[in-house]
Chain A
Amino acid sequence: MILSDSYFSIGKQHANEGKPCQDYSFAQSNGEFSTAIISDGCSTGGETDLGSRLMVWSALSSIVEHGGVYSYSIKKKLEASANLIGLSNCDLLATLGVIHSKDNVVKSYLFGDGVIAKKNDFGDLIAIKYEWTTGFPYYLQYDFDDYVAQACRGSRFALVCRREQWKFNYSESQWCHKFDIELSALSGIAGFEMAHPDLLTADQDSDSFIAIFSDGISQIKDVDWKDAVFEFMNYRSTSGEFVKRRMIKALRTMTPIDDITCAALRIVPDEINESDSANA
């Protein structure tokens, strides 16, 4: 069984400037698939609060239609919906992060920046942060249209992403740096399919969580992003709106500068699910 939930909220900066929240997320579990989707609109783009919402729903629509995450399909749906209401390319500059589970395989995808994290039932965490060194993320549209990249940011081939991976060992109660690598569009890495071995739960034999965060997690006053991951995944209850409850509670003692969003899947193995049913 897979449970899903999501959360987004406006950061202090946008609230003070009278701007809308440009982060958005949605999560869904049905009998066929489970998906958790986030999007973070570019703050120097156009109406990217709308762009991020269209991005999420275009992705969901594409997943429903094709049974998986296909960037070209998402882009076409995004552009079609934007054309209907007169939005331009700069309004659609938004990241896209997806965690998708189907047929006992979980994959994660990220176009842009953000953090993907996995927590097992022992409390160990893996957290991977993707950050574009130029400060401008690689957006989905750049995959297909270098003109867009040129118009908005400069050539997509100049964009470089740094990926840093950390592991939290619950028994030792500390984070351990694993490695950093740099990826670039020039080397052929455009949008990422993160079929990362550490994040896959092909056997789904343990209760675990996989969460995806926007880069707002790195912009919480006086809070390191890894500590934020730990708090945001320190679930006290795991039914229903488990992500919202945890984020709301944790953010009460934090000051997020940027908008922040999270979407997560909880994977409950069949034997735990059957045990819960027997005890009910």
Chain B
Amino acid sequence: MNEENMQQFGGQSAFAFSGVNIDSLGSTEYTLVVIALDVTGSVTYFANSIRNCLMTVVETCSDPKKSPNRLKLMLRVILFSSSLPNGIEELHGFKLVTEIDTNSYPQLNPGGLTPLFDATYSAINSVISFGERLAASDYGVNAIVFIVTDGEDNRSTMTPSSIKMLGEKVEENIKAEVPGLESLISILVGVNAADCRTSLERFKDEAKLTHFLEIEDASPAKFAKLADFVSQSISSQSQSLGTGGPSQAIALSI
């Protein structure tokens, strides 16, 4: 599978995304994963830890011994910062984790302000949209998204309310048995963000995100634990495919 096998969705929109050509897929069901990473100026001192965390997650999820469902996982990675065009840069669209070369992940170049709401909207909108396409082609599909940030929003076009509407649409479709995601889990991760904890918790509630996880500091050890948490959460959500519901409650502590 190569880059030529990727398709663009959403046109020229700021929330466009890419994904593998569905006709090339072979399995019966997939879990869609999005990891959105804050690359604003304030993460400069732990940018390497962020990159290493991402690489660890991908390597764990594609390891045959650690990830029995690895052939059913598709990952999209986005960076967000006002220094990026439209505030969001897609490192890669939805592709099988086993097809990702982690060495291709660039060194991060932090800078700019925080379009947190836009990144969350992009992440959730993309899993819903790509999930609907998969479901229309008979694939079973669920999703889990992680938005990793060290600060509150201060540069977005979208609002928590618009994100909430996305989630409500998913719930309505599930109840009405409209083809689409079987379940969606969204996890907001606040790293070294004690001073904006209240703001992030309010965002989580207003946008009706599933969970908020706070990580006290940005040490390499904490990022290693974050990688474990993310990998296990992905695995758990993948195992719930076909059950019609989300994975069991994730232990939110690191």
Chain A residues engaging chain B, CB cutoff 8 angstroms: 235-241, 244-246, 248-249, 280
Contacts and interface: CB of A to CB of B under 8 A. Distances in A.
Interface stretch (B23-31, B56-64, B86-94): B23-31
B136 interface: yes
A251 to B, nearest CB: 12
Contacts of A239: 23-26
B180 interface: no
B23 A244 contact: no
Interface string B122-165: 00000000000000111110000000000000000000000000
A240 B26 contact: yes
B138 A240 contact: no
A236 B27 contact: no
Report whether over half of chain A's contact residues are helix, strand or loop; otherwise say mixed.
Answer: loop
B22 A244 contact: no
25 contacts: A236-B137, A236-B138, A237-B22, A237-B25, A237-B137, A237-B138, A237-B139, A238-B23, A239-B25, A239-B26, A240-B26, A240-B27, A241-B26, A241-B27, A241-B28, A244-B28, A245-B28, A245-B137, A245-B138, A245-B139, A248-B28, A248-B138, A249-B138, A280-B4, A280-B5
Interface in B1-33: 4-5, 22-28
A237 to B, nearest CB: 4
Given A237-B137, A239-B25, A248-B138, 12 more contacts: A236-B138, A237-B138, A238-B23, A240-B26, A240-B27, A241-B26, A241-B28, A245-B28, A245-B138, A248-B140, A249-B138, A280-B4
A280 B28 CA distance: 22
- Give the contact-size bracket for chain B: 10 to 19
A245 B179 CA distance: 13
A273 B36 CA distance: 38
Contacts of A245: 28, 137-139
Interface string B188-232: 000000000000000000000000000000000000000000000
Contacts of A238: 23
Nearest to A253: B177
The 3 closest A-B pairs by CB, nearest first: A240-B26, A237-B137, A245-B138
A241 B26 CA distance: 6
A235 B23 CA distance: 12
Contacts of A235: 138
A97 to B, nearest CB: 22
- The residue in B4, B28, B136, B140 that gathers the most chain A C-beta atoms within 10 A of its C-beta is B28
Nearest to A276: B23
Nearest to A5: B26
A238 B26 CA distance: 9
Interface string B104-126: 00000000000000000000000
Contacts of B27: 240-241
Contacts of A236: 136-138
B2 to A, nearest CB: 9
Nearest to A249: B138
A237 B23 contact: yes
B253 to A, nearest CB: 36
A239 B139 CA distance: 11
A239 B140 CA distance: 15
A27 B11 CA distance: 40
A240 B4 contact: no
Contacts of B28: 241, 244-245, 248
Contacts of B24: 239
B51 to A, nearest CB: 32
A271 to B, nearest CB: 17
A246 B138 contact: yes
- The residue in A235, A238, A246, A248 that gathers the most chain B C-beta atoms within 10 A of its C-beta is A248
A239 B26 CA distance: 6
A246 B5 CA distance: 23
A78 to B, nearest CB: 30
A239 B28 CA distance: 10
